[in-house]
Structure 1
Amino acid sequence: MRTARKGSVEMPAFVRQLVKETEKRVSSFFKGGRGGAAEGEQQGEGEKEEVIPSPYLDRPVLDKLTEEGCARWGLTYALGSMQGWRANMEDFHNCVPQLGGELADWSFFAVFDGHAGSTVAQYCSQHLLGHILASGGIGPEDDPEKVKGAITEGFLQTDKHLHSVARREGWERGGTTVVATLISPYYIYFANCGDSRAMLCRSGQVCFSTEDHKPYSPLEKERIESAGGSVSFQRINGSLAVSRALGDFSYKGAENRTPSQQMVSPEPEVCVVERSPADEFLVLACDGVWDTISNEELCAFIHNRLRVCTDLRDVCTQVIDLCLYKGSLDNISIILLCFPGAPQLSTDALHQEAELEDLLESKVAEIYDELCARGEEPELLSVLTVLASTVIPGLPPGGGIQSKRNCIISAYYQQRDAHKPMVPNGLGGS
C-alpha cells in the first residue's frame, strides 16, 4: 500500500480556531476538560489569568505503534495506536493471546483510554488482568456467571488498589476508560467501563457491541445526581465526559455510597456471547475511533480490507488513517482480533483494489491537468476537494474516499514531481 508523505495532514484553520475559542469559553467556567484541573479554584485579586495549555497540537503526530501475534487455538490479532492531534499520548493496551497454565486456551485483550494524564491508564494496563485472575472465579469449567463476577471484582479491586497507590505517590488526579475482552473456548466476555467500545462481527454483520457510558444516559445521570453531582454540557459537573472509569477519585467521595454508586463508577458492564463458527473478528477501540465511524461502517470496512490485506497491522493502520481523515482529534487505538472464520485474501478483491487505485491515479492526473489549464494552482486540497465531489465506483464500503486518501496523496505528489520544470544540463546543482 502507498503511504502519505509526512506533514501532509493539517487541521483546517477554521477548525483549529473553533477548538481554541471553545476551550477558552469552557475553561473560563470549568478548569480543565475531560478531567482537568480541580473545579472551584479561585483567582486572587490581581493575579494573572491562568493560561491553560491547549490539548491539541498544530500538527498531528502520525507515528504509529503496531503489534501482532496469535494464539495456539487459531486467533490472530494486531494492535495499532497513534497520538494524533492530542498534545500527549494517553492510551495504553494489554494483549495476552494465551493465559497460562490451565487457561492456556483463554485470551485477554484491553484498551485503556486515559484522561487528565496517562498514569492511571498505564497502571491499570499493568494490573487489571492480575486482579481479575486473583478473584478466583475463572477456571477450566468456564462458568459464565462466575467469570462475569470475577471480571467485575477485578475492576473494583483494581480501582481500590489504584486509590491507595495514588494517595501514596501523590499522583495528579486522572482516570481511564477500559474496554476489554476475555475469550474462552466457549464464550466471549466483554467488559466496558466508559466510552471506549467493543464490537463483534459475525457473518459479515455487527453481532454485538458494548454501550458507551455517558453522563447524559438516563441511568447514568440518575446515579450521578443521586451522588450529589450534576450533568451540564453533557459532562459530570460540566467537566468529565464519561460516567464510568477507573480513577477519577475526586468524583468518588460521596459518603455512605458504595463504589458503584458514586458519580463516576468503576463497575464495568459485563456481557457474554457464546462463540460461533461464524465469528469473524472482534474490535476493541477507544473513542478516538468511534467518534468518527459507526459500528456498521467499521464492520464493513474491516471485512473488505481483510480480503486484500494479509497483515493485520496494515488493516489497523488503515483504520487509524481513516479516522484521522474523517476528523478525529483524539488519540486513536484499536485492537483487531480475527477468528478462524475471518474473511480471507481474495484474488478478485485484489484485482478490484488494483483497478480502483489505477482509477484514482488517473482521476488525480485529470484534475491536476485541468487545474493547470485553468491557470489555477493545483494544490493538494484543491485536488482532494474536486475528487471528493466525483463519483468513484468501487470505494471500500464504510470507508469511502477518505479510506483511499493515502493513495490519492501519493498520486498527487507524482503529478507534482512530473510537472516540475526540467533544469537545463549544466545549469543545475552538482
Structure 2
Amino acid sequence: MRTTRKGSVEMPAFVRQLVKETEKRVSSFFKVGGRGGAEHMQGEGEEVIPSPYLDRPVLDKLTEEGCSRWGLTYALGSMQGWRANMEDYHNCVPQLGAGLADWSFFAVFDGHAGNQVAQYASQHLLNQVLATGGIGPEDHPDRVRGSFTDGFLHTDKHLLTAARREGWERGGTTVTSTLISPRYFYFANCGDSRAMLCRAGQVCFSTEDHKPYSPLERERIESAGGSVSLQRINGSLAVSRALGDFSYKGAENRPPTQQMVSPEPEVCVVERSPGDEFLVLACDGVWDTVSNEELCAFIRSRLRVCTDLRDVCSQVIDLCLYKGSLDNISIILVCFPGAPQLSAEALHQEAALEDLLKSKVAEIYEELSSQGEDPDLLSVLTVLANTDVPGLPPGGGLQSKRNCIISAYYEKKEAHNPTTPNVSVCIYIKLSQLLYQYYVISERVSIYAQSLNSSPYLSPGAWCFTVLVHSVNSSPYLSPGAWCF
C-alpha cells in the first residue's frame, strides 16, 4: 500500500517529463546507430521515426457520467493532448449483470505502440474475469483475487491470437481496474496507470506502479534474458507489466507471469468504510504531474464548488495539461455518499479568489506596460507565478486557475488597447472557452449557431474564423515549454 510517488516530490513535473522523453529519444538514437534519432533522414527506403507529439495539443474532451442504484456516482474525462494519437480507453459499468447488481467495475487502459490492444482489452477483460466463475454474491476475497488474475491471463492469451492475426504484436496496454462489491474494493493493476482511494480526507490506498527499475520487476526481467537500461526494458519499454507487448514474452520454458513483461495483475483488497469519499483511476498522463495527495486534495476542493462530476474531471485534465503533461490524459472519478458536498462558504471563497486573480493580473499588466512593454500572456503568468496568491485550490495551485487568468488577461488587454473588432474577439474567446469546458459537441453547435446571428461586430464567416483560431490555436494554448509557469 502506498500513498506517495517516491522520488518525485522535489523534481518539477515538467522536468520529469523532459527526462522521460529524453530517455526515449536517447534510446531511439542508439537504435538507429547514432544517426540522428527521430529527426534523422535515414536514407532512401529506410524508416523515419515519426514524432510522438503534435505542434499544438488536441483539447477536445470526451466526458461521461452515470450512477448506480445504491448511491454511487461517477464521471470520466479524457483528452488526447500533445500526443499524436489517442491511445487511452476505459470501461465503466456502474451495475453488473444478474446476481451482481450491487457490484460495479471501472477500468482505464493506457495503450502504447498503437491503440488496438487497449481497445481490445477494454472490450473483453471484464467478460474474461466474470467467465472464471469465481465472482458471486458470496463475495469471497480469495476467489475474487483468483478470478482477476485468471481473467487477465486469459485476456492476454486470447489477445495473442488476435494480435498475430491483425498485426498488433508490438502494441500493449497497461490496466488499472477496480471491482466494487457491497463489502470490498478489489484493485487489479498491471503497469503504471494507477488507482487511488480517498477516505475521510486522506489517501487511504493507491496501487503500485510496475516499473522496470523496481527490484522485483528487474529480477524477473533479467531472469527472462532482458536488461534494464535508461529505466526501460532493453532500453525501450517503460513498463514491466502489461497486456500485449508480445515481443517481450518469448522466453522459452517460462510461464507468462515470468516473461520480461508480465500480464499478471497485482490484486489488492480493501474493506469498504462509511468514510469512503471517492475513487480515482487514471493513466500516467495524470500521475506524471500530480502526486496522490495533491490530487486527493484538489478533487476534494472541487467537489465543494462543483455539482457536475464531469466538470471536476475536466478541471483535473486542465490542471495536468497546464502542469506539463505531454501524454494522453484520462481519469475516472467514482464518488460515494461520504464525498464532500457543495458548500456555500467554499463557493464564496472561490468567487473571492477569482476576483483577487483578476485584480492581480490587472496590476501586473499595468506594471509591465509602464515599463514600455506590451505584455504577452506568458510574461503575465511568469510574474504572477512569483506573486503570493492566498486561497489557491489545495493540490492545484496557480495552474488550476489558469483559465480564469487567461480571461482576466484578455479583458485587461482589451481595456488597455480598445478596438471594436477586438471586443468581439475577446467576448468570443471567452465564450469558446466556456463552451469547450461545459458543453458537449452537439450543444456547442447549437450555441454557436445562435451566436452567429447576434454578433454586433463580426460577420458569421469572420466569427467562425476568429473563434476557431483564437480559442483553439492561439496564445491561451502555448508551446509545451510554456505550460509550466
Task: Provide TM-score, normalisation by structure 2.
Answer: 0.80
Name 1:376's counterpart in structure 2: 373
- In 2, are the aligned partners of 1:322 and 1:399 still within 8 Å (CA)? yes
1:237 to 2:238 alignment:
no
Contact 1:116 1:174 in 2 (8 A): yes
Alignment pair present for 1:129 and 2:126? yes
Q: Which runs of 5+ in 2 are unaligned?
A: 1-14, 33-37, 422-456, 460-485
Task: Give 1:377 deviation, angstroms.
Answer: 1.4
Offset of 1:24 from its aligned partner? 5.0
The answer for the alignment partner of 2:387 in structure 1 is 390
**Residues 295-347 of structure 1 deviation map (CA, whole Å, 9 limit, x = unaligned):** 00100110111000000000001111111111110000000000110000000
What residue in structure 2 maps to residue 277 of structure 1?
Answer: 274
Alignment of 1:232-381 (within 5 A): 232-381=229-378
After superposition, residues 3-402 of structure 1 pair within 5 angstroms as: 25-30=26-31, 50-402=47-399
Q: TM-score, normalised by structure 1?
A: 0.90
Q: Following TM superposition, by how much is the alpha carbon of 1:170 offset from its aligned partner in structure 2, in angstroms?
A: 2.6
Is the contact made by 1:30 and 1:238 (CA closer than 8 Å) also made in structure 2? no
Deviates more, 1:410-419 or 1:341-350: 410-419
Asked if structure 1 preserves the Cα contact closer than 8 Å seen for 2:88 and 2:110, the reply is yes
- 1:167 CA displacement: 1.2
Q: Percent identity?
A: 80
More helix per residue: 1 or 2? 2
Number of matched residues? 404
Judge conservation of contact 2:160–2:169 (CA < 8 Å) in 1.
Answer: no
Q: Separation in 2 of the partners of 1:370 and 1:268?
A: 56
The Cα shift of 1:48 comes to 6.1
Instruction: Give, in whole Å, the separation in 1 of the partners of 2:270 and 2:18.
Output: 45
Q: Is the Cα contact below 8 Å between 1:90 and 1:331 reproduced in 2?
A: yes
Unaligned runs of 5+ in 1: 1-13, 32-36, 38-42
The alpha-carbon deviation at position 169 of structure 1 amounts to 2.2
Provide the secondary structure at the position in 1 that maps to 2:367.
Answer: helix
Residues 73-104 of structure 1 show CA distances to partners (whole Å, capped at 9, x for unaligned) of 10000001000010000000000000011100
CA distance in 2, matches of 1:405, 1:356: 12
CA shift, 1:17, in A, is: 10
- What amino acid is aligned across from residue 256 of structure 1 in structure 2? N
Give the Cα–Cα distance (whole angstroms) in 1 for the partners of residues 179 and 17 of structure 2.
40
Shift of 1:20: 8.4
Please list the CA deviations of residues 169-191 of structure 1 after superposition, one character each: whole Å capped at 9, or x if unmatched: 23352100000000000000000
Q: Distance in 2 between matches of 1:227 and 1:194?
A: 18
In structure 2, give the amino acid aligned to 1:55: P
RMSD (Å), alpha carbons: 2.4
CA change 1:18–1:296 in 2 (3 A) is closer
Equivalent position of 1:34 in the other structure? none
Q: CA deviation at 1:370?
A: 1.3
CA 266–318 in structure 1, closer or farther in 2 if over 3 Å, else same: same
